[in-house]
């Protein structure tokens, strides 16, 4: 009888500790999922902004070619960014174009 009297508080404490650990594990997994989801969302927003800025960079390049205001620095930049474009064109030609024009837009 004394064995049963001692084991009840021990089992109650064990169940309580297990419930607390389970709760914290669920909260940790939920917060980890939220962090991963936020990181994915921010990465997607950054990708969209690079695509948009890259498109603006491409329009800027075309505008500069039409106005014929190109210097030697622009030619060096253009050669560098064309090499970036050719490097990334194996995966997706449009992404390589957007990346190279985005870099051109940032550094010119």
pTM: 0.32
CA atoms within 13 A on the CB side of 99: 16
Cα three-residue angle 10-12-17, rounded to 5 degrees? 95
pLDDT per residue, tens digit, the chain (108 aa), is 444 555 556 556 666 666 667 767 777 777 777 777 777 777 766 666 666 665 666 666 666 666 666 666 666 666 666 666 666 555 555 555 566 666 666 655
Structural domains counted in the chain: 1
pLDDT at 104: 61
User: Which distant-in-sequence residues (6+ apart) come within 8 Å of 50 by Cβ?
Assistant: 98, 99, 102
Domain extent, residue 53, equals: 2-107
């Amino acid at each position: 009888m004394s064995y049963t009297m001692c084991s009840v508080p021990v089992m109650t404490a064990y169940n309580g500790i297990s419930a607390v650990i389970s709760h914290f594990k669920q909260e940790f997994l939920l917060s980890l999922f939220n962090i991963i989801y936020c990181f994915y969302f921010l990465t997607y927003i950054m990708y969209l902004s690079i695509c948009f800025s890259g498109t603006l960079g491409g329009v800027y390049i075309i505008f500069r070619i039409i106005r014929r205001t190109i210097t030697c620095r622009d030619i060096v930049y253009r050669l560098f960014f064309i090499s970036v474009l050719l490097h990334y064109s194996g995966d997706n030609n449009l992404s390589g174009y957007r990346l190279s024009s985005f870099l051109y837009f940032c550094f010119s």
